[in-house]
Amino acid sequence: MVSKKRNTFEWGRLKMAGIKIKQGEELNGLGEMLKEIIDGNLKDPKKYRSVERLKASVVIREATSGVAITLHFKQGEVEIQNDAVDEPTACMEAGFENLAYISSGQLSPIKAILTGKLKASGNLLTLLKISSITVLK
């Protein structure tokens, strides 16, 4: 019973969390689009829990423009910043349309990698884990 109450409290706290923007930054267009999706997904405790313990930095890049953002996962917090960091845990790159199809759940990330629509590098398991919050379902 105690544990159940604690979970409820935690879920309430997390529900308000959302994604943080790196201090002093105005997000680029790619970041704004992804932020809206991630914010929506983080309201779902089940989705949040799938990345809660993740410690990683993931770069997402739009191939045509070269515009990138980095997502940082640490201590239960998710932060977004413009541009790519050096040596991220994982990196994914695709054109706008394919990124949109992946983010909207119309194209599975695995299928996208296998068909060459998505270039992925680094820890692929991390990429799959974060898809629970970067993909609309």
> Of 6, 9, 97, 125, which one interacts with another protein (CB under 8 A)?
97
Pick 11 or 101: Cβ nearer another protein: 101
**Start-end of H helices in 2-60:** 2-17, 29-42, 45-52
- Judged by CB under 8 A, the chain residues 27 through 86 that form the site for another protein are 27-33, 36-37, 40, 62, 64-65, 67
Q: Least CB distance from residue 123 to another protein, whole Å?
A: 25
Tally of CB atoms within 10 A around 35: 19
What would the DSSP string read from start to end of 65-106? T--EEEEEEETTEEEEEESPPSS-SEEEEE-HHHHHHHHTTS
Binding residues vs another protein (CB under 8 A): 26-33, 36-37, 40, 62, 64-65, 67, 96-97, 100-101, 103-104, 106, 136
